[in-house]
Amino acid sequence: MSTFRKVLEVICVAGGGTVEGVAALAGVPREDVEVVVSELLELLASGLLAEAKGGGCGSCPLKRFCPLASCPSGAGLRILYLTDRGRRVCEGIKGGGRHSS
């Protein structure tokens, strides 16, 4: 299985996460995840992924399953999560079918 596919499957199952967390779950180096993430960032424009911004942990869409007790300010963490549209596409991937976006 390709690194891209491993990373994408982890994101689909987890619904998002940190680069470090995705790397650990996918069993690939952090640097490989960074490459995949740079490709995935193009999906931000398409509306499949979104980036958690400001407001602290209380307003973060990932607070239910985030492994961090809190996000250290200035840590440079980029936390991406699937939008509703992205989740529908992932359902097509997990189901082995093709999904038109």
| Tokens 């499949």, residue located | 48
Residue 20 domain-assigned (yes or no): yes
| Tokens 């976006």, residue located | 101
What is the C-alpha to C-alpha distance for residues 5 and 61, in angstroms, rounded to an integer? 24
Residue 72 sits in a domain whose CATH number is 1.10.10.10
Structural domain range at position 14: 3-94
Residue 10 domain-assigned (yes or no): yes
Q: How many domains does the chain have?
A: 1
Residue 100 domain-assigned (yes or no): no
The 10s digit of each residue's pLDDT in 8-59 is 888 888 877 888 888 999 999 999 999 988 877 777 778 888 877 666 676 6
Residue 35 domain-assigned (yes or no): yes
Residue 39 domain-assigned (yes or no): yes
pLDDT band of 96, cuts 50, 70, 90: low
Q: Are 101 and 89 in contact (CB under 8 A)?
A: yes
What is the C-alpha to C-alpha distance for residues 95 and 90, in angstroms, rounded to an integer? 8
